[in-house]
Amino acid sequence: MNTQKVISGFFIILAMTLNFGFFYGDIDTFTHHSPYELFFAIVVNLIATILKLGDKTQVGSVLLATSLVADLQLLAAAIVWGVSIYVFHGDVKNYAQLVVSLSGGALMANIVSVIIFMGDTLKSKR
C-alpha cells in the first residue's frame, strides 16, 4: 500500500465531500449553506493542493490544476461572502447565488480531480 496515495486520496475525496456539503441546499435559502463548512472546504482543498505539489507526472499536473481551480473558486466565494457581510452590512441574500455558484464550480473541479485520481489508481500496476 502506498501511504502517500492513501493520504492524498483521502484529502482529495474529503475536499469534494465538504464542498458538496456546502453546495447542497436551496440556492435562495442561505441558511442551508454553513460558513463553517465553506471554511473547512477551503482548508481541506488547500491541504490537497499542497499534497499534489510533489507529483511530477502528467497526471499530477492535471490534478494540481484542478485543485488550484477549486481553491480559487472557494476563496472567491469566501471573499464575496465576507464583502457582503462586512462591506455591504449583512446584505448576504443578494450575493447568496454567487457564493453558491462559485462553490459549484469548485465542486466540478473536485469531481474532475476525483475521477482523474481514480483513473490513475486503476491504471497503475502493483
* Average confidence (pLDDT) over 42-57: 90
Q: Please tell me the predicted confidence (pLDDT) of residue 126.
A: 59
Q: Please tell me the predicted confidence (pLDDT) of residue 114.
A: 94
Q: Please tell me the predicted confidence (pLDDT) of residue 44.
A: 95
The reply to whether the predicted model has a pTM over 0.85 is: yes
Among 51, 16, 57, 58, smallest CA distance to 37 is for 16
Q: Please tell me the predicted confidence (pLDDT) of residue 26.
A: 77
Residues with Cβ < 8 Å from 110, sequence gap 6 or more? 12, 15, 16, 19, 45, 66, 70
For the segment 62-91, what is each residue's pLDDT rounded down to a tens digit?
A: 999 999 999 999 999 999 988 888 887 777
**What 8-state DSSP symbol labels residue 108?**
H
Burial class (CB in 10 A: 0-12, 13-18, 19+), 88: exposed
Question: Which position has the higher pLDDT, 122 or 92?
Answer: 122
For the segment 2-30, what is each residue's pLDDT rounded down to a tens digit?
A: 788 889 889 999 999 999 999 887 777 66
Q: pLDDT at residue 32 above 80?
A: no
Q: pLDDT at residue 59 above 70?
A: yes
* CA–CA distance, 82 with 92 (Å, rounded to integer): 9
